[in-house]
Structure 1
Amino acid sequence: MSEIVYPPVIKAAQGLFKALDMKFRLEGTERIPRTGGAVLVSNHVSYLDFIFAGLAAHPSRRLVRFMAKKEIFDHRIGGPLMRGMHHIPVDREAGAASYKAALSALKSGEIVGVFAEATISRSFTVKDIKSGAVRMAVAAKVPLIPVTLWGPQRLWTKGRPRRLLQRGVPISIQVGEPMYPKRGDDYEQVTKDLHTQLSELLEKAQRGYPHVPKPGEEWWQPAYLGGSAPTPEEAEALDLKELEARKSRTDG
């Protein structure tokens, strides 16, 4: 597969990270396989997560093909970049085609990145996840690799203004133990186990994060750690309200 776009994009991003004096803490990256397919499953706290989740695979010299909503591919600037990096568009009205493309990539030895929560978690805890990532790993006979991110929400997340040029923001990237689901397993139980591992990894990153919010910045800290982010229940209500508003606009 031709890689004309992805490597230059990575180099440009790394140059920006250096200019902004970002501090990265990566743990468990040796768990990313150096060859063969894998499903990388990440939590979702910001609009930039595909950039940082992809960094988890760099020590293993791997590129991650992320599944992302079709609308990003329709953007006049983002679209050509996403296609050039061979990411996989997800059309909610044609989900079978997206699944088939992801399965084909996995079977050809690619790492496919999935945000199993589907949307950004406003509570900064791991939302409920569906069994699609598990089923995909089973169908392709590849491992599941849990990854959690903490810190990117400070740069750009749902309901907050973009602050992309902040300097010195620490970014934590945690890679968990690979999971090897197989045909005949209880997929719902495996999904629960995946959720548990993601939640534990995320809490470890949050509790070990080197910064605490300044006065007025408590929004980026989860409620269970004393922050002012919505609780999971409040976040669910906000997501439902947003969904209903979107549906109303579509119906109208």
Structure 2
Amino acid sequence: MSAYYKLFKHVLIGPPLKGYYRPWAEGVEHVPESGGAILASNHLAVSDSFFLPLVLKRKVVFLGKSEYFTGKGVKGYATRAFMEGVGTIPVHRGGGRASEAALRTGLQVLQSGELLGIYPEGTRSPDGRLYRGKTGLARMAIEAGVPIIPVAMIGTDVAQPLGQKVPSRTDIGVRIGPAVRLDAYAGRQDDRDALREVTDSVMVAIRELSGQEYVDRDAAQYKRELERDGKLPRSPQS
């Protein structure tokens, strides 16, 4: 765990967040004490990436869009410093080479024995429901030979609705379940059917932890439709 990360988690950010929001956690024993693993979580608010690491002893690495690290001026510097401090690695979003580069970056994190935080939906839920997961996490887990630990963030969407920058005071929780078994999928990281089966199993586990209604469609596409129809404000954030 880097000194910079420790400074943010244990001095600058962690104590104030814990003191004010008093986040609770269930099932932290399911997170391995060492070795690589994927923490696959629902995504309700930007603050999910702050509160999940708070309840764990180990560092959690997230993959974040590169735009967080390229801003100009004081705001750009502050955003970049914050993202680096909470353990975010910049990646370019999109298909093709960008997706492959993000996957390779995630594999490097896992193969180095770290925890990788992933939001399988690919974006924040626009309405609090749980949307179809993308199969990249299954491919990484199978190729790296690591477990996938389902996680449910509770209440972050109430504390920080879309468009709100600073979370309001409310109860925030993290519920963690047992690992989704991948033994039967060894060597099948290029099998699309296997990747979809694993991903769907992970989403079922997240749904059972969170109690969310499940929607079998792509969240990002739905958000674009809502923005186009003026039913959702456009946001530069994921």
Structure-2-length-normalised TM-score: 0.79
Report the Cα distance in structure 1 between the residues aligned to 2:155 and 2:210, rounded to whole angstroms: 11
Q: Deviations over 1:188-216 (max 9, x none)?
A: 1111111111111001xx7xxxxxxxxxx
Cα 1:162–1:144 change in 2 (3 A) is same
Percent identity for Structure 1 against Structure 2: 30
Displacement of 1:116: 1.0
Residue 155 (structure 2) aligns with: 151
Matched letter for residue 17 of structure 1: L
Cα 1:80–1:24 change in 2 (3 A) is closer
Report the Cα distance in structure 2 between the residues aligned to 1:98 and 1:243, rounded to whole angstroms: 28
Cα 1:18–1:180 change in 2 (3 A) is closer
Displacement of 1:65: 0.5
What does 1:216-231 correspond to in 2, within 5 Å? none
Residue 62 (structure 2) aligns with: 66
Displacement of 1:34: 0.6
Displacement of 1:96: 2.1
Indicate the SS of the match to 2:45. Answer: coil
Do 1:120 and 1:157's aligned partners in 2 also have CA atoms closer than 8 Å?
A: no
Do 1:125 and 1:202's aligned partners in 2 also have CA atoms closer than 8 Å?
A: no
Do 1:125 and 1:199's aligned partners in 2 also have CA atoms closer than 8 Å?
A: no
RMSD: 2.7
Report the Cα distance in structure 1 between the residues aligned to 2:30 and 2:222, rounded to whole angstroms: 36
State whether structure 2 residue 103 is matched by structure 1 residue 99.
yes
Displacement of 1:84: 4.8
Residue 233 (structure 2) aligns with: none
Do 2:41 and 2:150's aligned partners in 1 also have CA atoms closer than 8 Å?
A: yes
Residue 123 (structure 2) aligns with: 119
Displacement of 1:237: 4.4
Pick aligned residue for 2:202 from 194, 199, 209: 194
Displacement of 1:19: 4.3
Structure-1-length-normalised TM-score: 0.75
Displacement of 1:14: 2.7
- Aligned residue pairs total 212
Cα 1:133–1:232 change in 2 (3 A) is closer
Report the Cα distance in structure 2 between the residues aligned to 1:86 and 1:243, rounded to whole angstroms: 33
Displacement of 1:18: 4.4
Do 2:35 and 2:113's aligned partners in 1 also have CA atoms closer than 8 Å?
A: yes
Cα 1:19–1:35 change in 2 (3 A) is closer
Cα 1:237–1:67 change in 2 (3 A) is closer
Do 1:125 and 1:232's aligned partners in 2 also have CA atoms closer than 8 Å?
A: no
Do 1:131 and 1:191's aligned partners in 2 also have CA atoms closer than 8 Å?
A: yes
Report the Cα distance in structure 1 between the residues aligned to 2:159 and 2:165, rounded to whole angstroms: 6
Residue 212 (structure 1) aligns with: none
Which segment is superposed worse, 67-76 or 45-54?
A: 67-76
Do 1:69 and 1:91's aligned partners in 2 also have CA atoms closer than 8 Å?
A: yes
Cα 1:115–1:18 change in 2 (3 A) is closer
Larger Rg over CA atoms: 1
Cα 1:28–1:47 change in 2 (3 A) is same
Residue 51 (structure 1) aligns with: 50
